Amino acid sequence: ILNVEQSPQSLHVQEGDSTNFTCSFPSSNFYALHWYRWETAKSPEALFVMTLNGDEKKKGRISATLNTKEGYSYLYIKGSQPEDSATYLCAFMKTSYDKVIFGPGTSLSVIP
Amino acid sequence: GAGVSQTPSNKVTEKGKYVELRCDPISGHTALYWYRQSLGQGPEFLIYFQGTGAADDSGLPNDRFFAVRPEGSVSTLKIQRTERGDSAVYLCASSFGGGAYEQYFGPGTRLTVT
């Protein structure tokens, strides 16, 4: 059974704080790791798709790193803003034609 | 351009009834995914289409669930003899190709079985 874990389950930070959370996935047979942001009452929105060990991606104040050998990815948010409040989901694929396994998500609340 | 759309947005049905949920993907997207999301959990994979064929249907929970994509565009998720445990938000997503492409999600259909 493929298991994707995310930690912490939830996080409350002050506006301006930087934060990071972790996605853990099986380190054998890796194909891709996705990060999504899911705001309340909206659809999940793609942040990054990462395929290579050592990948680092950045979009504005949000960045992500990938370690496929040890099976983890970090998502970083620099200078958190209230509009960053959302659930952050990672999703793992072991092959291009295989199922997508989502983690349970990390719920981030940024307090003004 | 138009995003992924799903209809209906809400569906309330009685236990034992049959329901169909529809997904209209982004034009040109060959991959289409169905997920089920229960409160407090991440989306649970149900089925993945590449074109008209189901590339992976291993997430369908039992034979009451079936999905089709006859022309490689619109997809319908069909649930027979609904049970209260089927109540969830059903999400559809499409992408340009396989797993290395980001998925675009629809707004979901909230199914309530009474």
Nearest by CB: B55 against A6, A89, A97 = A97
Whether residue B108 and residue A102 make contact (CB cut-off 8 A), yes or no, is: no
What is the rounded CA–CA span in Å between residue B94 and residue B42?
A: 17
Mean pLDDT of chain B: 94
What is the rounded CA–CA span in Å between residue A59 and residue B104?
A: 17
* Res A3: pLDDT: 87
**Cβ contacts (< 8 Å) between B91 and chain A: which residues?**
43-44
pLDDT in tens, A76-111: 999 999 999 999 999 999 887 778 899 999 999 999
Who has greater pLDDT, B54 or B81?
B81
* pLDDT for A7 beyond 90: yes
* Res A1: pLDDT: 58
Of all residues in chain B, the percent with pLDDT exceeding 90 is: 85
What is the rounded CA–CA span in Å between residue A13 and residue A6?
A: 17
Interface test with A, best of B6, B105, B109, B110 (most A CBs within 10 A): B105
Tokens of B42: 């991440």
**Cβ contacts (< 8 Å) between B48 and chain A: which residues?**
97-100
pLDDT in tens, B25-57: 999 999 999 999 988 788 999 999 999 998 889
